Structure 1
């Protein structure tokens, strides 16, 4: 029980970072008599090379929850079962996968002992005779397979803590790591067999004796260069054909150039983007679908989301302030009717969503919603004339700034944000429009920008600045923050399911507050 609790606490501490754990609690089975010590060197390009590995480890990269897909990938670096290219074929790959929402686990597995302090020189000498090298590697490959199987079992056994699906656990590897990927797949029962594999320029012959392609679905992705200087292309082509002929979902990319060992290196040739083809393939197989989609993503296909993203990107390029959003509505609304007092509420998604969620509240009070999701204060300022002044309201409620803190359109500068507030106030007063400045709502974290830190402190400081502006200009300040905040100075689940966007219950509270503030300000002479 204590062991499980400790492991759970460790897993919790891994969120959004990486930690390394031992694969075995004691000496790795089969290498009890290995007395040498592991070493590392750095290559001129900064890549870490591990050799004489005795104690296998897993370095764990868990994705942010808002990106998590429930998919896991065990990553095996290569190096002819003598060395391990830990960065370009390990940690850099894991970080790429982590950014895509995949829980990545870099495996440092046991390798053949090198007896000099020149691992490259010693290995290059051995690679002149592949037959002899294969014979030396064979017993260590068996140990490495056991390491990979132990790693896969660990991942599945701790699926809840790692927030992954036990049926979405893959394995990939490079060169010898690709060989290990194939060997582990062929030699494993369901408990330790990966659900999909991606051997990248693997040395196929070393594990051909284990070859066992099942009838059940197990997708495979293969990538290498045609000019692989170790001559691996023909065997890999046959590997693809073997899987294809077995009826498996197989995809293969053979690049004209790239040599052997391109990994995550940048060489200004097409192999630089092989990993994009990998994630395209993973997406096709259903391994990159978000486990916790944002509210606006629910019920939409990947194709629909991509189309929306492209449309929004094009719109932002042509209309950064989104003047087109309310262009037709503004033309249709006309001037205020006689005897009616019009009020405009402007801002971001808080106001945007409010106008849709509470149409009766807006219509019955002659309030006009002009919020645009995702916008920052400079965007709201630039459309202030079209979406506020030209509508001839008696009063405007300004509620903007949370996306400034989220850095939606650039680095956050509170003085810049308050300067935009100042400009909107002055424009409104010049046009004899009364102003209510609403505080920024509480927020503890941003689902779309989890890397932004100290959000409550930034919100509190910005609200203090907004409040001072209200005093300076003699306008009303509406304090949503202190009414809605929870113990963390954020929004509770009852107030905002995602911690940012209000629920109907939250809007109900805000409606009473904003109407009282508007009525009080309009009553002033």
Structure 2
């Protein structure tokens, strides 16, 4: 699949002057909202918002969908064949600067790949900060908002004002509550996120309330800034390209904090792939990420079926 750096990342990079014209992604094209079979309102009858607020677009020959102005959060299951099911489950949080979601590239495609590997996946369409309805205006607006947070995204206003961590906790609770329905083990429900989705995953994973944390974290091209890690933090798989132009390399302070807390962590720093590589950029080792994540889950014991001997 061709590399996609989403509109949301492009806007911020362009605002900072870091992207040359030839490296900008193809333009977004307004689109009718696609069917989302199986999507479940995250809070049941109490789910706020309306799908009418959403602005959908596609990009590139793959017609990769993105969505802005989400006010009604949902969760969409992607289940493995029963013969391959491991009993593990993952909530998938796409990125998009908390103002959009690269929902095809970092949501549905990832969930399908996980289900193919025997892992039940649940794509979270979380609530977003509002943006102008017009795509060009939204691009400029997102760039301005993100440019003000260069260097400190984990403590910035975008994450601070976002409902994404709240919806992330609710998604984990939903999967655990409905574990029997989906054939998963409530003790093996983790979370994987990309970019802003990674930041959401990290915030949920390191929440002071241990009962609301996922069993494990997939932290994919999130900022590597450190913070205190609880002594009982869930294991973390951390992957980023070393040429990431949105989160330039600072080393791996968050992994170092995990090591200091004596908690399991694995780091993959890919030579190339930039930001937004999703399931991988052809010709780079980022294409190995989902299999490495799966192998790591197996090593941690999360893919061992209860009926295994």
TM-score bracket, shorter-length normalisation: 0.7 to 0.9
DSSP 3-state at the match of 1:85: coil
Note the 1:113-128 alignment, pairs <5 A: 113-118=130-135, 119-128=138-147
Question: Counterpart in 2 of 1:219?
Answer: 235
Change (3 A) 1:138 1:272: closer
Number of residue pairs aligned between Structure 1 and Structure 2: 269
Query: What residue ranges of structure 1 are gaps of 5+ in the alignment?
Result: 1-16, 294-298, 300-525
Distance in 1 (CA, whole Å) between partners of 2:287 and 2:159 is 32
User: Which residue of structure 1 lines up, in the alignment, with residue 22 of structure 2?
Assistant: none
Q: Deviations over 1:157-185 (max 9, x none)?
A: 11111111111111110000000001111
CA contact (8 A) 1:59 1:106 kept: yes
| Contact persistence 1:75–1:107 (CA under 8 A) | yes
Partners of 1:190 and 1:81 lie apart in 2 by: 24
Query: Could you tell me which residue of structure 2 aligns to residue 110 of structure 1?
Result: 127
More helix by share: 1
Query: Are 1:73 and 1:102, in contact at CA under 8 Å, matched by a contact in 2?
Result: yes
Instruction: Return the structure number with greater relative CO, CA threshold 8 A, min gap 6.
Output: 2
* CA distance 1:204–1:38, shift in 2 (3 Å): farther
- The Cα of 1:121 is off from its aligned counterpart by 3.9
Partner of 1:484: none
1:481 aligned partner: none
| Distance in 2 between residues matched to 1:36 and 1:63, nearest whole Å | 31
| Pair 1:40 & 2:56 matched | yes
| Per-residue Cα deviation, 1:216-249 (whole angstroms, up to 9, x for no partner) | 36211000011110234316x0011100111111
Q: Residue 257 in 1 paired to residue 278 in 2? A: no
TM-score normalised by structure 2 residue count: 0.79
Displacement after TM superposition at 1:135 (Å)? 4.9
RMSD: 2.5
Match of 1:137 in 2: 158
Q: In structure 1, how many angstroms separate the alpha carbons of the residues matched to 2:224 and 2:73?
A: 23
Q: Distance in 2 between matches of 1:19 and 1:167?
A: 23
Structure 2 residue ranges without an equivalent (≥5): 1-35
Correspondence for 1:23 = 42
Cα deviation for residue 196 of structure 1 reads 0.7
| Equivalences for residues 323-402 of structure 1 within 5 A | none
CA contact (8 A) 2:224 2:250 kept: no
State how far apart, in whole Å, the 1-side matches of 2:231 and 2:298 are. Answer: 22
- 1:154 aligned to 2:160? no
Match of 1:81 in 2: 98
Structure 1 length normalisation: TM-score? Answer: 0.48
> 1:234 is paired with a residue of what secondary structure?
coil
**Cα contact 1:149–1:188 (8 A) shared by 2:** no
Please give the residue correspondences for 1:363-512 in structure 2 after superposition, counting only pairs within 5 Å: none
**What is the 5 A alignment of 1:136-285?**
136-141=157-162, 143-187=163-207, 189-203=209-223, 211=227, 213-216=229-232, 218-234=234-250, 237-285=252-300
Q: CA deviation at 1:145?
A: 1.0
Q: How big is the shift at 1:144?
A: 1.3
